[in-house]
A and B are shown apart, each in its own frame.
Chain A
Amino acid sequence: MIREGLAGKRVLVTGATGFLGTALVERLLRCVPDLHVTVLVRSGRRTAAAERTRREILRNDCFDRLRAEVGPEAFDALIRDRLHTVAGDVGQDGLGLDDDGRRALGEADIVIHSAATVSFDAALDAAVEVNLLGPSRVAEALEQTGNTKAHLVAVSTAYVAGTRRGPAHERPLTETPFSPVKDIDWRTEVDAARRSRQDADTESRRPERLSSFTKQARHELGAASTPLIADRAERLRTEWVADQLVEQGRARAQSLGWPDAYAYTKALGEKALFETTARTGQPTAVVRPSIIESALAEPRPGWIRGFRMAEPVIISYGRGLLKEFPGIPEGVVDVIPVDLVVAAIIAVAATREEGVFQVASGARNPLRYRGLVDLVREWFTANPLYDGEGQPIVVPEWSFPGRGRVQRQLERATKTLAAAEKVLTSLPVRGRRAQLSGRLEERRTQADRALGYVRLYGAYTETEAVFQVDRLIGLWSRMDAADQAAFGFDPALVGWRDYVHDIHLPSIVVHARVRTAAGRKQGPTREERGRKAILDPKRHLAVFDLENTLIASNVVESYAWLATRHLPTADRARFVARTLREAPALLALDRRDRGDFLRHFYRRYEGAPAARLHDDAWDLFAGLILTKSFPAGIRRVREHRARGHRTLLITGALDFVIAPLEPLFDDVVAAHLTTDSNGRLTGELQEAPPTGEARAIVMQDYADAHGLDLEQAVAYADSASDLPMLEAVGHPVAVNPEAKLATIARKRGWHVEQWDKSPGGPRPLLPIGARAR
């Protein structure tokens, strides 16, 4: 009946790159012979629509079965023959189709619209464009091509019913009692959503807002350069706008009685669709699945695409991170395997059924929340995940608390952790102690994520609506035995224990790439792999910062050492006391702007005899610089050279101070002071000191001059103010990072090195030069 109904037909599918869409296209191609599928795919920023089809649909392991069944050549031929791609975008009026696309739409016998923004925390305007306007746009585009005969099947969600108790029937929402849809004009909602994007954007540009973004960027990055701060502040602004729209979406949805923006826009989308097709006379069906999860059997048990709603929650639970999750123990968690939804859509399409069909398990084969939690705990107890030390993780027992309590607890934890992190990042610690802030940050992220889940999905575990499936079962009963065997969609087919234990959990555990075996990891550690990548022969340039990257010293110490060298003993003590008194002010200046600090500080060299400083620098080298050097760092420079990489030192230290270090590197970029006619230093810099973004520019120029590619370069630095330098290269390394950089390095997966001074070195309390005699 199904195969006959679809034989020789042309089906156009939107949303084919999604979870449901991929499964649908695969099933149509594999199980219905002599049927042509056209997928409407949005061209990516860089990839054409056809390329996206190849990469994002055909390369998915969903097609492994078909490929294996017919053989790779026959598979390619089948795809060439029966699968076509047209470029288009359901977010645009007229679907953004070209002539080809319009022809394909005009010739289609069936149009299945499954494109949607499924994210529960989508921005309001994006959700409105795609979910609310998408279905009616498809209907209008069909009207424009004159194809009012084609059967339009739109995929919606069972949750359009809204937050309510009792049965939810398979009827258009306008015919459903207590539905919030009734009195709402969807056009007004569209206009309001579009306006709110503009309003949020305008609000984000107010001076107070802008300065707070800049302030936050400065706090995150420390004494970074202006372009970097500006860049970060702008990113914070766009994120803020996005957050506002997400918040507005949630608020608007909840004010009307839906759990989130997704359900709200989908509901209004249905209303708009039925209004449009009532006008055009298009035969239309709406299929409303509940929560779609991994496949029961087709194309293989456990097949899933992407990380969906329940998975992150389940994995977090398995890893012992999620200690509590709200929910009503006897409430129904309405889950439906993806292949059942696909089969239902195909059956509706093949029989040209109209009206609403719900594909949900709650009414016919309910899975209770407590039952699900028990199944999950049983499974993780038998198949635990393992922590970094290779020990099994014991999963927590849930007490089914109310949503409010969990949310409050998590909010409190998040706040405390954020405060602790803030204190720590403002302390001048570095190296291993700074890693503590990384751990704190990790904990806060975990708490944050848990809070996010609770806010987002809490409503779903508390749903008390029961989605009726009478029409679906009616359709099921009209199918013959062969169809029922090939296209099963009766929710009663699912045995929950087998499904959860043998199909769903094993699949998502593999999908999440968590550790499922005991014992320490074999093979090289992350650190060893990082080091290997850095020293790979393909790299060809290594750039080093000096202070706290190769030596634990700074320009102030060098200055104090050189200056005290020729002072009488009494003055030496006074000098040191004076410098110490100034230290906090100098430190503050250095934090604000490294370039300004250097310029200001180097004034002190005014009038110093250049020749004598050049001589003294050699004693400074042995007396201070080598003593405070990191031997492992110096060895690393030499390892790069031994591998034929060019090595470059970029430092704000003065040229004569680092002259003895020059043989270590191929090239050195340092600060130069000018000399007057009497051979005395003027205290003025010849050019701007190489700090902040100037370093990135110096590196780029250097790479260009030597025909090198910064993608293949390694940069070593210790502080967030060196970010332009680190970001410019393909292989950044944070050395003894201070808290801010440690956090950034962890987030971006940068290699981190902890280099220490040699423990046997002399440890003078104060940087006082040996008396010159």
Chain B
Amino acid sequence: MPRPGFVLDVDRSTPPTLFWHGEGYRLEQLPPGSRVIYPPEPLAGLPDPDAAIRHALRNPLGDSAPLPDLLRPGMRLTICFDDVSLPLPPMKGPDVRQRVIEAVLDVAAEKGVDDVQLVAALALHRRMTDDELRHALGDRVFDAFAPNGLLTQHDAEDPDNLTFLGQTEQGEDVEINKRAATSDLIVYVNINLVAMDGGHKSVATGLSSYRSLRHHHNVRTMQHSRSFMDQHRSELHSSNWRMGKLIAASGVKVFQIETTLNNRTFPDQFSFLSKREWEWSAKDRALFAASSKALDRTPTRLSRQILHGIRSPYDLTSVQAGEVEAVHAQTTEHVYRQQLVEVSGQTDVLTMGLPYICPYNVNSVMNPILVMCLGLGYFFNLYRGKPLVREGGAVIMSHPTPWEFHPVHHPSYIDFFDEVLADTTDPLEIEKTYEERYATDPWYVHLYRTTNAYHGVHPFYMWYWGAHAMQHLGAVIIVGGDPKAVRRLGFKPASTLRDALEMAEDVVGRDPSITHVHTPPLLLADVR
């Protein structure tokens, strides 16, 4: 029986706490009286995942017929799936998408469905490489579909491949992938890594265009999503739900398949990363010492390669299929079961160690904008109820924050950093002055459509993701970052955690309460 999450009160006998620091990690001594929040231990995986998937397809939730009954010869079937941003790190093969899609294809074959296409639900993310697609889908599916042009990636800038479905009662445009919109059935295959994922967001966001996305990917929505990990208090989700209802009302049928994973994030040789430090064995300590020394001495480029090579030994903990809302309600419960940790009371100072990866730099570089987004967009928002840190409090993040960008994946980020952030860091100002130009820039559109580039507007969304935190916080300090890059972000650089804590005191007052979130593996703080 795995143990639940745990809040440790640091005292003099507490060993130093592990902080991720980009392509490496450090041990930091937190002051006595600090709290450290540990995620629950990994739940047990389903004993026979394939059987569970087959079972879910035939026993749908909510107002939906079993999948075999929805399929008939001559129909148009489109299977959509989450892209490379999920899960993190990428999972050890076979990927859960491969298992589900193979099962769906088996049923489709049984039922004599010929017109089947696969669409990667990219939204405005970068196109996946062939290797990444092959990893997500498996050789068999890839080789059967890709060479015939039946495996495509959603292109949000191809006017010929988008269908406008109408406006919600709030005037939000709904525009999605044409192949999906004109299919008799969409089967959406999801991986629900965090509570934000899935539900109506899968189709309404994953298959939509800038025209549609801008209604919920904006500063106002993000400032009114408290947090966007809590779908009932998230304006982001309200908007997606309105859109989802309109998609259903337009006659687009969606058969949603959602899966949850446990948090067995790191393979054996890195297992100490998921453990509580005072329980480290001699072997764990040796592995820590050896690996952190080795990573420190390796050039960043190489350690980045090593870490991006990690494949997580996740287990499937649940699979739900059927009508979107009914499916998602159960999925969310499974996510909570794995991630929720009860925490009493907010803190003055929240510390976090940021790892080498976030949803937007798989096989790439974590640039400064993504550092901000991971810290203030994701980690800050991993709460239910109240934010972990009080209003006017401080967040201290540990990350090297190098002034580095992947020229192919993040071209508009480079210009956003050099041009937009040099001018202002205020999300509203940025949205007003610059968003339109970047979103419609023909060169970024060209790169998004023909190479592996994120859309021109994507860095803006990253910045909006942090808008709630920026509004809420009194100070943001980055430990060990490139000072120039950190200042460009509008934050304060500190060379050590001790310095950062001193700097935070200037903002939050003397003897502040300090809380450290020990992630990854991910947790969701239920703040009472």
Contact = CB atoms under 8 A, between A and B. Distances in A.
Contacts of A622: 408, 450-452
Contacts of A618: 450-451
Contact of A761 (B406, B415, B441, B447): B406
Interface in B387-405: 402-405
Interface string B392-429: 00000000001111111011001100110000000000
Interface string A619-663: 001100011010110110010000000000000000000001001
A633 to B, nearest CB: 11
A758 interface: yes
B43 interface: no
A657 B414 CA distance: 24
Contacts of A759: 402-405
A626 B452 CA distance: 10
Contacts of A638: 441, 443
B414 to A, nearest CB: 4
B408 A761 contact: yes
Given A635-B418, A663-B442, A758-B414, A763 B407 contact: no
B365 interface: yes
Contacts of B410: 760
A760 to B, nearest CB: 3
A635 B415 contact: yes
A513 interface: no
Given A631-B411, A664-B443, A621 B451 contact: yes
Contact of B407 (A626, A664, A773): A626
Given A621-B451, A622-B452, A663 B407 contact: no
Contacts of A660: 450-451
Contacts of A761: 405-408
Interface residues of A, number: 22
A201 B93 CA distance: 82
Contacts of B293: none
A760 B367 contact: yes
B412 to A, nearest CB: 10
B305 to A, nearest CB: 10
A631 B410 CA distance: 11
B443 A627 contact: no
Given A758-B414, A763-B301, A631 B405 contact: yes
A548 to B, nearest CB: 16
B442 A760 contact: no
Contacts of B443: 634, 638, 663-664
B361 to A, nearest CB: 9
B130 interface: yes
Interface in B427-483: 441-443, 446-447, 450-452
Which residue, of A757, A758, A759, A761, has the highest number of chain B Cβ atoms within 10 A?
Answer: A758
B446 A758 contact: no
A760 B407 contact: yes
Interface in B78-107: none
Contact of B365 (A632, A634, A757, A760): A760
Contact of B130 (A626, A757, A763, A773): A773
A618 B449 CA distance: 11
A305 to B, nearest CB: 47
Interface in A728-773: 757-763, 773
A622 B450 CA distance: 9
A141 B407 CA distance: 77
Which residue, of A621, A634, A760, has the highest number of chain B Cβ atoms within 10 A?
Answer: A760
Nearest to B408: A626
A762 B301 CA distance: 8
Contacts of A626: 407-408, 411, 447, 451
A627 B407 contact: yes
Contacts of A621: 450-451
Contacts of A763: 301
Contacts of A627: 407-408
Nearest to B304: A760
A160 B407 CA distance: 71
B451 A663 contact: no
Contacts of A663: 442-443, 446
Interface in B323-382: 364-365, 367
A646 to B, nearest CB: 16
A758 B130 contact: no
A758 B450 contact: no
Contact of B405 (A664, A760, A773): A760
A632 B414 CA distance: 9
B438 to A, nearest CB: 11
Contacts of A634: 411, 443
Contacts of B414: 631, 635, 758
A757 B415 contact: no
Contacts of B418: 631-632, 635
A628 to B, nearest CB: 8
A758 B365 CA distance: 11
Nearest to A624: B408
A763 B442 CA distance: 28
Interface in B34-81: none
A49 B212 CA distance: 73
A630 to B, nearest CB: 9
B442 A758 contact: no
A664 B442 CA distance: 9
A39 B406 CA distance: 70
Which residue, of B408, B415, B450, B451, has the highest number of chain A Cβ atoms within 10 A?
Answer: B408
A663 B449 CA distance: 12
Nearest to B410: A760
A760 B404 contact: yes
A15 to B, nearest CB: 57
Nearest to B419: A635
A763 B414 CA distance: 18
A638 B443 CA distance: 8
B202 to A, nearest CB: 28
A760 B356 CA distance: 13
A762 B403 CA distance: 15
Interface in A126-157: none
Contacts of A631: 405, 407, 411, 414-415, 418
Contacts of B441: 638
Interface string A652-686: 00000000100110000000000000000000000
A435 B414 CA distance: 26
A758 B406 contact: yes
Nearest to B367: A760
Interface string A232-264: 000000000000000000000000000000000
Nearest to A662: B446
Interface in A590-618: 618
B273 to A, nearest CB: 24
Contact of B406 (A632, A635, A760, A773): A760
Which residue, of B301, B410, B441, B451, has the highest number of chain A Cβ atoms within 10 A?
Answer: B451
Interface in A9-68: none
B511 to A, nearest CB: 40
Contacts of B408: 622, 626-627, 761
A758 B451 contact: no
A758 B404 contact: yes
A631 B415 CA distance: 8
A626 B451 CA distance: 9
B407 A757 contact: yes
Nearest to B305: A762
19 contacts: A618-B450, A622-B408, A622-B452, A626-B411, A626-B447, A631-B418, A635-B419, A638-B443, A663-B442, A664-B446, A759-B402, A759-B405, A760-B367, A760-B402, A760-B404, A760-B407, A761-B405, A761-B407, A763-B301
Q: Which 3 A-B pairs have the closest CB atoms?
A: A760-B404, A760-B365, A758-B407
Given A758-B414, A759-B404, A760-B410, 6 more contacts: A618-B451, A622-B450, A631-B418, A634-B411, A635-B414, A763-B301
Interface of B: 130, 301, 364-365, 367, 402-408, 410-411, 414-415, 418-419, 441-443, 446-447, 450-452
